[in-house]
Amino acid sequence: MEKVSSPDGTGIAYEVRGDGAPVVLVGGAFNDRHAGDDLAEALSADLAAVTYDRRGRGDSGDTAPYAVDREIEDLAAVIAAVGGHAFVYANSSGAVLSMRAAAAGVPIDRLVMLEPPFRVAGAPPEPEAYLATLVELTSTGRAGEAVEYFMTRAVGLPTEAVAQTKQSPGWAALERMAPTLVYDAYVMDGSRLPTQLLSGIAAPALLLGSTMSPPWLRAAAEHTAAALPAGEYRTLEGGFHSIPAPILAPVIVDFCG
């Protein structure tokens, strides 16, 4: 593990596997840098795969007050540390952060993104007062309630599945990252497709959907690709909001090669 200092002084932890052109992996909700370990290993034979802890997660710091611009600066700092420009693979809300970074001028050469969860036609609506509810729960020490609220109301998991997850050893880690659900909500900015922002991104972009994801998530990826000047869309075999590393890695290498 190495650390780079973001412009506001926050230390951002990252790891590099392999040699070659760098590809930075940007995680979504509840993802620290270790969530990308399998994919980074699969990519490392062809690229320098970089995983990092977004602020408030893992070994990275978390300087108040939060702003999306600070997360964009974090990603820029990691890219500067690994060579000054990079490819990016990002999933879910991490994909939205990456697009905001590209639009802000961060030197991203190409983007590969899995299912940015914009609420396009056919998607369930964002819960009423979603951000305010997350802020209330996390600021009053109710991390577990925040995790459960996100899983049931934002993701749409059944309460029975969440109850099982609460009994798992990983629940405590989810509670520790609960405050970053607020950060992701700011990144998503109401989950509307930001067509004007997307129209200003020149980097080639590959949007991916998984065969086992709900149709609206695949549709969100398709709509995002259509709104980007150099966007394209593909569906890959995968699970719910995920694609296995052995399937995903060759696609990333081919697109970024």
Closest CA to 234 of 214, 257, 210, 216: 210
- The angle at the Cα of 207, spanning 126 to 71, to the nearest 5 degrees, equals 65
Percentage of the chain surpassing pLDDT 70?
100
Q: What is the three-class DSSP state of 214?
A: coil
What tokens were used for 243? Answer: 């694609």
Distance CA 193, CA 93 (A): 12
Percentage of the chain surpassing pLDDT 90?
98
Q: What is the DSSP letter of 8?
A: T
Q: Is the pLDDT assigned to residue 52 strictly greater than 90?
A: yes
Crossing angle of helices 130-139 and 179-188, in 10° steps, is 160
Q: What is the pTM of this model?
A: 0.97
Band (161; pLDDT cuts 50, 70, 90):
very high
Question: 3-state DSSP: the chain helix, strand, coil percent, rounded to 5?
Answer: 45, 20, 35
Backbone angles phi, psi at 123, to 5 degrees: -80, 150
Helix residue ranges per DSSP H, the chain: 37-43, 68-81, 93-103, 130-139, 143-149, 159-166, 171-176, 179-188, 195-199, 215-227, 245-256
What tokens were used for 230? Answer: 């150099």
The dihedral through the CA atoms of 253, 109, 100, 139 has a sign that is positive
What CATH class does 2-122+190-256 carry?
alpha beta
What's the whole-number mean pLDDT along residues 145-149? 97
Residue whose entry in the numeric block shows the structure tokens 């639009």: 103
Q: In this predicted model, what pLDDT tens digit does every residue of 200-238 receive, in sequence order? A: 999 999 999 999 999 999 999 999 999 999 999 999 999
Q: What is the three-class DSSP state of 205?
A: strand
Closest CA to 197 of 187, 207, 206: 187
- The ranges assigned to domains in the chain are 2-122+190-256, 130-184
Band (80; pLDDT cuts 50, 70, 90):
very high
Distance CA 161, CA 181 (A): 19
What's the whole-number mean pLDDT along residues 63-71? 97
Q: Is the pLDDT assigned to residue 257 strictly greater than 90?
A: no
Mean pLDDT (the chain) is 97
